[in-house]
Structure 1
Amino acid sequence: MIPANATLHVTALSTLKVVLNNRNISTTLSSTANLLLVYLLSTEQPHAREAVAELFWPERQAKQAASNLRTLLSALRKSCGDHVVITRTTVGVEPTHVAYDVAD
């Protein structure tokens, strides 16, 4: 069930689609950014940035992976606003105004 006040709608069971305030933003996000958003929604908890960087860029040195993650998080923040919660050590999704079809 989609919350009445949801402003971010993510569909992952068919073709991936991310809609913010009735605007499809999945096409403006990189495939990696879309995957990270789905990963964060699926796990329903904040993750250590270091662990996410290692998961998404296992072949990179830790410093390069962290840099890649910072760039990715910046793009997600610009596209998704406060729906993505980023701290110095963790990254997660604020589920209050998010509708995610897998969770339904």
Structure 2
Amino acid sequence: MIAAALPALARAATEQPDEEFDPNTVTPGVWGFVLTFLIMVVVVLLVLDMVRRIRRVNYRAEVREQLEAERLEQELIDGGLERDPLDDVDGTDATGRRQRDGRPAASDDDEPPAR
């Protein structure tokens, strides 16, 4: 009885099912959409947070540079020099860059908006 059942069991295990699924009708479903949407929302929030943190670091670096420039200017004034002798009278410094508000122009034109 077992010997007769083994060939039938082997045929049943290796037979192809009569119905194959259509790959065009198989979808991830509602759960696939929900999970993909949630992952997208998390990624967008992480990118926004990263941009905010980078902007904050850039502002802090700009403030540090401005404070350092003011400190150096104050040291020059205390030392008896009111202007840098290399600064030109027409508002350009020794490198030919225009000065803004009494300080040399930045080497790049990318400035964050003033708050």
Tell me if both proteins adopt one fold, taking TM over 0.5 as the criterion.
Answer: no
Q: TM-score, normalised by structure 2?
A: 0.22
Q: TM-score, normalised by structure 1?
A: 0.23
Query: Hey, which of these two has a bigger chunk of strand by percent?
Result: 1
Query: Hey, which of these two has a bigger chunk of helix by percent?
Result: 2
**Structure with max Cα Rg:** 2
